[in-house]
Chains A and B, each alone.
Chain A
């Protein structure tokens, strides 16, 4: 058909065939500001009886649903005040107090506390193990979500409900559960207690739902026609997944992975039994903090806590930037 297109390019020069339909030139302005899905908007346009030919500005049309409404209920200043107070009391003040405490002996004191060999080792173990957990979660969580959304199998609802169990279970119970399976005298012959793999397994257990639950709704909402379009253009299933589906899921996967990582960094209950708390081996930061409190070194505890806080904050920040970048690309409109 290349040849044919060539032909008709010549023809187009003589008589410009694709005189672009006039009416939709100015359309982008029409449905942009309300920010809802253009398809829906146009559906309504399609059935709306049209009196005049001019469709660009049609004030008589039903107002788009997402147009800002007059506020009702709480007066604005009161609402903002309550939220600020609440966040301050619950989040900001304790964090500030912690930070102040960690600098009780000045910057050098803080630095010494954080860079003490066991402290540094515990932070390193925490980040390493959490990173592994995050990556595994990103892959397998997406897979689990995919299977739960796209495949039909007996017992699907049960499995779906089971995903939330690690959320509901007290983490210490998780630890005992894992210890009975992977601990000393393991019934399956796999002893992971007091190893870093034990930590990984424990953290995987408690972070299972994060990626699954953030990817699932996106996958349910995903437009299957887009995948069919890719297939009709010759894309194999894998190519379609990699180039079409994955970019759509990326923000959700990133978000879920970030939450899983943040949770893994701070996890205490589930690793306390299976980890073994061996300094420089399996001792994670939260255990180190606990230990320092017990031996009456609150400054060390506070300093490592602030370090953890910084790592968690940084993680969320990076993910935030990444996912907003992906989203902005899709919704980059005037």
Chain B
């Protein structure tokens, strides 16, 4: 369990962390999600001890480490740009934490071999980081962090420097690794898809504050506010509310739309809109719409529904919102 209590950190007049409190359960994989400047990296680095807090405390597994240097916090840290020791072989990189602890060579070698096998780099022992790809380098960094048996594993945008395909593969690999190794893991990311994909808990940060903490489903379906809703997926301004584009249903017939809408308690009502564009996106079809009021929004419907509706540009449809759980009040400042 990692507990951060009332953490504050200012850079000049900029509040990177503004009274942040967060519990991270042992064995979980928690994502700190937020836009850049939201304080998520600062929070992670504070847990690691790489950044000092102005006030507040950090405890790791019941031990108050607020004033401990990173060396004595029992952490493993993985950086976005790998932070590989370029003058050392893969073996020496992974062994570093053990070598400086003066562990017997046989023990170190055994541990390194195990870890290299886990991260799939067993054939790369004697290579130098420059001879590895980005994905391989990051897996080496992960093995290096795991070598010292950390109580918590902290990952700062670990896949941020990799290209899209490698990133997806690696994060699923990380998820499987976590399921097997069970070390408490905190991952910083600005990519909501990545957070939803790997984490079992997500803390959404914005402007140095935590907006909401929860499991991915809760966050997606019951966002606490506009920010969380907007950050965890696409949204449409529907009437005076925010809804997910895939929760908008289009009907040709107004009466049908009204009748069906009446069954949804507290729905934002039926909006008459003109089809501006129909965009097939593979599995789904995006329909760009313009309401009477002039407000533009998009609905995402299945191919089958699109085929049934036979929508053409310039036609009028009646849109209604379902899935009330993801409907939140629109911040007046954001409303069109």
Contacts and interface: CB of A to CB of B under 8 A. Distances in A.
Partners in one complex: yes
A19 to B, nearest CB: 8
Given A27-B134, A229-B79, A17 B87 contact: no
Interface stretch (B109-117, B230-238, B263-271, B275-283): B109-117
Interface stretch (A94-102, A163-171, A182-190, A239-247): A239-247
Interface in A44-70: 45-46, 48, 50, 53, 55
Contacts of B120: 18-20
Interface in A209-230: 223, 225-226, 228-230
Interface string B93-134: 000110011000000000100110111100000001011111
B308 interface: no
Interface in B54-88: 69-72, 75-77, 79, 81-87
A231 interface: yes
B181 A4 contact: yes
Contacts of B161: 39, 42-43, 46
Contacts, number: 176
Given A20-B120, A232-B76, A333-B131, A248 B71 contact: no
Given A50-B163, A232-B50, A243-B100, A1 B145 contact: no
Contacts of A9: 114, 117-118
B180 interface: yes
24 contacts: A6-B114, A8-B181, A17-B180, A18-B117, A18-B118, A18-B119, A20-B120, A20-B173, A23-B165, A24-B135, A24-B169, A27-B136, A28-B133, A31-B133, A38-B130, A42-B161, A55-B163, A225-B81, A226-B85, A229-B77, A232-B50, A233-B147, A235-B96, A332-B131
Given A55-B165, A228-B70, A232-B145, 12 more contacts: A1-B146, A2-B149, A8-B118, A18-B117, A24-B136, A27-B134, A42-B162, A45-B164, A46-B167, A230-B85, A235-B97, A326-B87
Interface of B: 48, 50, 69-72, 75-77, 79, 81-87, 96-97, 100-101, 111, 114-115, 117-120, 128, 130-137, 141, 144-150, 160-167, 169-170, 173, 176-177, 180-183
